Amino acid sequence: MTFGKTFFASCLGALAALVVFFFFSIFIIGSMVSAISEDKKVVLEENSVLHLELDAQIHEMQQENPLAGLPLPGTDVRKIGLMQLKQAIDHAKDDDKIKGIYVEVSQPTAGFSTLEEIRHSLLEFRESGKWVVAYNETMSEGAYYLSSAANEIYLNPYGEIEFNGLTVTIGFYKKLFDKLEIRPQIFRVGEFKSAVEPFLMEKMSKENRLQLTEMANSIYDYMLGRISESRNIDKQRLEEISDQMLVRNADAAVEVGLVDSLLYPDQFLNVLREKLDVDEDDDITFIKYNRYRKSFSTYKDSDNEIAVIVADGTIMPGDGDQNDQVIAADKFVEEIRKAREDDDVKAIVLRVNSPGGEFKASDMIWRELKLATNEKPVIASMSDYAASGGYYLSMVCDTIVAQPHTITGSIGIFGIMLDMSDFLGDKLGITFDEVRTGAYGDTYTVTRPLTEAEKNFIQHNLDEYYEIFTKKAAEGRDVAHEDIQKVASGRVWTGQQALDRKLVDILGNFDDAVEIAAEAAGVSDDYKVRFYPAPKNFLEELLINFEENAETKVLQRQLGDMHSWYQHLQKIKEYQGAQARMPFELKFE
């Protein structure tokens, strides 16, 4: 009887789960069908305003989320593709139904080079004679910089603007490792190669503090110059406003000229009605970016193609294992080879947004790019980061185009081996013993400290890799090896600083790089742009998003505020082998 009851209860439970799963699946499928149907109904109305909500994660390419809008974990995270956003703004410039753009941005998740690309597109939009307005309750430093491209900036009467300079924050793990009895064994080449400092120190070295100070000043100086042009405020006055933190409230922002007026949302809508020349009671037709980009096609009929290889993320061996934020060596070698061997591809633009990664993986991609330069023009376009391994990829290109804000250089090598023997023995009660053949039978281990012979072996390898890096950089830049060594040593530069040191050729944006590539190929008047790698299909995106969202939600629930630190520690796993990686992760505040 007990068995029968248990069996019957189990069957009922399974049946209930099946019913729930069935109706949930119907709901998901129905929502997707509805979303797809909505996409097909995008018909633009006359007198429309393009509404750009830019508080989102802004990546190089749009990462479609087929679960967006559904009541599932993680589906509320907004992601925007920089390239698609630029296309939308460019199309709106000549779209008679779009009368202007409303920029709503408070805290964008993007680097300053990305913001500069968007800002440039907005300024070009204004050249068509149409208007751009910005309005919000609060604006970070980056949000204000982007908004300064608008004809007018409006703020809530009790809103706030952050305009007090940049702060670069770096986290250090030494105390954590001390508590866990984990001893990092560090190998590096270059006095500025400070990627390893968070594992060894509790604060910055004087070399790292020097380069970060100069870098932050270079970025902020350029920003103030651009804001000065847009807002017609003397640059020296902007420095005074920032240094003395004169913008303490919304009224002060108007007094110093950073914003034009303080308005409540209903008053701001009336401003838009005036611009659209409609009555006070009329509705305003807004169209949001994601819907607007589905109202037009970017297809262009041409036999000449400019292939844009988008390298966004950390450089790693392998094929990427479906991870969009990894520059997987095998995958990218294949993509570059396809572009090299395709007769329709007249030139290649390498779009780099990478802090670097594994040295050998970087060299694999470098080799394929080198082969491509022998057959057709290859132009590098640097985004927020093109440092260390990211610079390694760029330095082989015929021309390097960087933004003034781009963080690049960092020509250096490092490696980390963690001695976890005390942690495993004292904290977990696990000990190890070994027998081996030869003095180097088990060099890459975490169960014991490395011997002096093993340390010398690893350091010797890194010295050789550094020599290879600097020599190839000198060859690619067509300068003396000694000159490259003077600006190497792991030192990080802004795009402006890199230009002065001949590490890059031109200051400009992505569009400039494409134009240079087309001109070099002799197809300036007739070409189309195609992005590689190709986006994943609907099913792939669905499965990846569902898995990632579920895993992230579980970890966030379990770890709480410690989740961000868990993510940092997970990155240590990537530090196996020689690393050509930027010496820190920047967080501008």
Predicted pLDDT of residue 33:
47
Question: What tokens were used for 484?
Answer: 């490259």
Residue 285 shares a structural domain with residue 378: no
Residue 275 shares a structural domain with residue 336: no
Residue 511 shares a structural domain with residue 542: yes
Does any domain span residue 569? yes
pTM: predicted TM-score of the whole model, two decimal places: 0.84
Residue 472 shares a structural domain with residue 526: yes
User: Are the beta carbons of 253 and 247 closer than 8 angstroms?
Assistant: yes
User: Are the beta carbons of 377 and 521 closer than 8 angstroms?
Assistant: yes
Residue 276 shares a structural domain with residue 408: no
Residue 253 shares a structural domain with residue 367: no
Residue 269 shares a structural domain with residue 366: no
Which of 292, 327, 352 is at the close of a domain? Answer: 292
Does any domain span residue 198? no
Does any domain span residue 226? no
CATH number of the domain residue 497 falls in: 3.90.226.10
3-state DSSP helix/strand/coil percent for the chain, to nearest 5? 45, 20, 35
Does any domain span residue 114? yes
CA distance 246 to 255: 10
Peptide bond into 533 cis (omega under 30): yes
Helices (H), 2-55: 2-40
Kindly state the DSSP code that residue 537 receives in the 8-state scheme.
Answer: P
CA distance 297 to 461: 51
Which of 230, 264, 292 is at the close of a domain? Answer: 292
Does any domain span residue 5? no
Residue 415 shares a structural domain with residue 477: yes
Catalytic residue from among 193, 275, 376, 472: 193
- The answer to whether 489 is a known catalytic residue is no
Residue 246 CA neighbour count, 13 Å, CB half: 15
Helices (H), 244-328: 250-255, 265-276, 289-292
Does any domain span residue 348? yes
Could you tell me the residue range of the domain that residue 309 belongs to? 305-581
- Could you tell me where the beta strands, DSSP code E, fall in 270-374? 285-288, 305-312, 314-316, 326-328, 345-354, 356-358
Residue 345 shares a structural domain with residue 251: no
- The answer to whether 388 is a known catalytic residue is yes
Does any domain span residue 452? yes
Query: What is the pLDDT tens value at each position of the chain, 589 positions in all?
Result: 555 555 555 555 555 555 555 545 554 555 554 444 444 557 889 999 999 999 999 999 987 655 555 545 555 567 899 999 999 999 999 999 999 999 999 999 999 999 999 999 999 999 999 999 999 999 999 999 999 999 999 999 999 999 999 888 888 889 989 999 999 888 888 776 667 788 889 998 888 888 889 999 999 999 999 999 999 999 999 999 999 999 989 999 999 999 999 999 999 999 999 999 999 889 999 999 999 999 998 888 999 999 999 999 999 998 865 556 799 999 999 999 999 999 999 999 999 999 999 999 999 999 999 999 999 999 999 999 999 999 999 999 999 999 999 999 999 888 888 888 998 898 889 888 888 777 766 777 888 898 888 889 889 999 999 999 999 999 999 999 999 999 998 889 999 999 999 999 999 999 999 999 999 999 999 999 999 987 655 455 555 455 555 555 555 566 565 555 555 555 555 555 566 666 555 555 5
Does any domain span residue 258? yes
Domains held by the chain: number: 2
The DSSP bridge pattern shows strands 183-189 and 413-419 to be antiparallel
Residue 278 shares a structural domain with residue 406: no
Residue 431 shares a structural domain with residue 509: yes
Catalytic residue from among 113, 194, 388, 489: 388
Which of 262, 292, 322 is at the close of a domain? Answer: 292
User: Are the beta carbons of 262 and 250 closer than 8 angstroms?
Assistant: yes
Residue 285 shares a structural domain with residue 402: no
